Amino acid sequence: MSPEFITKYLPLYEKAAWLTVRIGFAGVLLSIVIGLLCAAILYYRIPVLTGLTAVYIELSRNTPLLVQLFFLYYGLPKIGVRTDAQACGMAGLAFLGGSYMAEAFRSGLEAVEKIQMESAQSLGMNRYQTMRYVILPQAFSISVPAFVANVIFLLKETSVFSAISLMDLMFTAKDLIGLYYKTTESLFLLVVFYLIILLPVSILGAALERRVRYARFGA
């Protein structure tokens, strides 16, 4: 290990890490929005849209992100849809993550038993109140573990972005290995930076899971 090499290329990794974090979190946020929309469509069984959503979920869950990105980045421009690499990365992550989030939210909603809805109605709550005070808090609590797992999964998936020439951590590591043969140092920095990004998320996620475990109380 050469400390000079590490200090010299630290800023390069830092820049790459910010790119990963930026696109990663933007992609996760978009996934949450898509996931909520899809879960609501499936829960209320909105005609036509339910079918479309089901098709989207199957397509997205049964194909790798790398292949999705290749199609978005290299395929779509051929029919006139031009986007830059960053937007593609975000869109790809959102396309993949949307279905995973939808499944997490939907299974949370469906896990709330029917008797909860009936009890709320017999207490004189209207549809909005039932949703707001009875169904959603429980559904949220139940979907948190899957939600946390999805966030970490999506952040890890960002490691394929170098395939569409985004200068992320993988790209930087591969570049430095190719240029200087400093394999050990480059890989060391790569692992350290991924840990800096992923460990806090994982710890926060575990804490969140402990805090919102209330739906299972008394069960």
Partner 1 sequence: MPDLGLEVLLKGQNMARLFTGLLAALKISLVSVVISLPLGILLGTLMTWKNPFIKAALWVYLEIIRIMPQMVLLFLVFFGTTRAFGWDLSGESASVIVFSLWGTAEMSDLVRGALISIPAHQYESGEALGLNKVQIYRYIVVPQTLRRLIPLSINLITRMIKTTSLVLMIGVVEILKVAQQIIEANRTASPNAAFGIYLVVFLLYFFACWPISMAARYLEQRWR
Specify the residue, 92 or 108, whose C-beta has the smaller distance to partner 1: 92
- Taking the least distance from each CB to partner 1, the nearer of 105 and 193 is 193
Nearer to partner 1, 57 or 215 (CB): 57
- Using a 10 angstrom Cβ sphere, with 0-12 exposed, 13-18 middle and 19 or more buried, the burial of residue 123 is exposed
Of 80, 211, 73, 92, nearest in space to 159 by CA: 92
Residue with tokens 């090499």: 5
- CA atoms within 13 A of residue 149's CA, in its CB half-sphere: 9
Nearer to partner 1, 140 or 188 (CB): 188
Least separation in angstroms between residue 184's CB and partner 1 is 6
CA-CA distance, 132 to 128, in Å (whole number)?
6
Could you give the C-alpha distances from 177 to 164, 207, 217, in angstroms and in order?
19, 37, 52
User: Which is closer to partner 1, CB of 146 or CB of 198?
Assistant: 198
Least Å from the CB of residue 211 to partner 1: 21
Residues that bind partner 1 (CB under 8 A): 58-59, 61-64, 66-68, 70-71, 74-80, 156-160, 162-163, 170, 173-174, 177, 183-184, 187, 190-191, 194-195, 198-199, 202
The DSSP letter of residue 181 is -
Nearest approach, Cβ of residue 109 and partner 1 (Å): 18
| C-beta of residue 100 within 8 angstroms of C-beta of residue 142 | no
Rounded to a whole number of angstroms, the minimum distance from the CB of residue 149 to partner 1 is 10
| Six-digit token string for 126 | 């209207």
> How near is the Cβ of 192 to partner 1 at its closest, in Å?
11
Other beta carbons within 10 angstroms of residue 142's beta carbon come to: 22
